[in-house]
Amino acid sequence: MNKNRKLRLLVMSDLHAVVNTDYSDDTHLVFKSDSSEFADALLDYIKDLNEDFDLLVCPGDIANKAQPGSFLQGWKTLNKFAEELKIPELICVPGNHDHESRRNEGVFDPKHKLQFCEPRFPRNNFDECTHFWAWHWCPIINEDYNAVIINSSAYHGFYDENDHGRVAIEVSKQIGDFIKSDKFQEKPINFLLCHHHPSRMDYVDEDYDFEVMDGAAQLIRKIEDSDKGPWMIIHGHKHFPEIRYSQSQSVEPIVALSAGSVSAKLHPALMNKTSNQFYIISVDIEKTEKYGKAIGEFETHEWTLKEGWHPSKSENLPAKGGFGSPSSPQEIANQIKNLFASKSEPFLEQSDLSGISSDIAYLSPTDFKRLISKLEKIGFATETVGSEIIQVGKS
């Protein structure tokens, strides 16, 4: 963690790596002779950002359709990124494409190759790996944070389980009991990492969503009941990026990042909604501790065929934004209205908003749009750049 007490995460989800030309229509991450131009360009781009990270996080689908050799190639690439970017911790979970549940010939256990690969997966610690593969989850205890990683594809290969994710009710009880125990000491922030989404996302494909992780509501209830500090969920699978808040019994909701795919070719329903993306998450530890919920900012970087890698131009998850703001859009709009009452000028410049600038920065993209809308309703026009307000004037 840096001296400003910011915990920094690099999030790369749904790699869908392939080797040679098989399934190359599914992904940009194609390996030939152990190398990939796409992976090399991505690594060079991140290096040029000159950022420091505490964690590299991947919420699964490292492979594509369990193609032989694809998982190992993708997993080695993630380890290479962690090593070359000097990231001390790599946290991953498997996805439905990583389990060999699609392949019937000669496969006696869909997870066998994941359990016995080198480097060890998902953790380079024998006891943690043993716990993960025995119970389909594992706790990770760090000085600065706690994490729980879940195999939401654990039952793939049985009946219709391939169609959705699952966390067993018994597993949720195990996790809840562990979090309540003395082994799980309260930290400034906790992470829950899974592949499948914990709540339905019918709006992505504008159709019923049956891929959701069964049992997730029970798990979230157990986490909330434990009262062991703020939580942030990170998942992939849908390739649809967004920041949202979980359904909660509390005024301190869990923040959820739905990560887009870093390299899969997007299916038609998504092509006009998003792009290939990775994320930099910065958790403000001081404010997270103060307000009891995950508070921070994110950066989104995207890849397009014409421009390569660049800061996101997507509205869905813009180049910069936040989550967990202590103030609601209505509260901030009222504060801006009060600032006008104490000034004679017809405009407020960015410097005039310095007292509430961090609350604005920590608004989610949806709440930032709501703030602009609320200001318009009470008679103010705004000039914005990305997720920043440059000037506010009376309209």
73-132 confidence digits (pLDDT tens): 999 999 999 999 999 999 999 999 999 987 656 667 889 999 999 999 999 999 999 999
Which residues have a Cβ under 8 Å from the Cβ of 33 and sit 6 or more positions away? Answer: none
Strand ranges for the chain from DSSP E: 6-11, 18-19, 30-31, 55-58, 89-92, 137-141, 146-150, 165-166, 190-193, 213-214, 231-235, 242-245, 255-258, 276-284, 296-304, 308-311, 320-323, 347-349, 380-385, 388-394
pLDDT recorded at residue 3: 67
In contact, 235 and 194? CB cutoff 8 Å: yes
Report which secondary-structure segment, H or E, holds 338: helix 329-341
CA distances from 274 to 204, 301, 323 (A): 11, 11, 19
Q: Which of 154, 180, 179 is nearest to 167 (CA)?
A: 154
- d(Cα 196, Cα 193) in Å, to the nearest integer? 9
pLDDT band at 209 (very low <50, low <70, confident <90, very high): very high
Half-sphere exposure of 214 (CA within 13 A, CB side): 15
Please write the tens of the pLDDT for every residue from 324-358. 999 999 999 999 999 988 877 888 999 999 999 99
Question: What is the model's pTM?
Answer: 0.96
Token output for 129: 């790996």
Q: What percent of the chain has pLDDT over 90?
A: 83
Query: What residue type is 236 in one-letter code?
Result: G
- Residues whose CB falls within 8 Å of the CB of residue 327, separated by 6 or more in sequence, listed in order: 335, 356, 359
Q: Which residue, chain included where needed, has tokens 């008679």?
A: 379
* Distance, CA of 30 to chain centre: 23
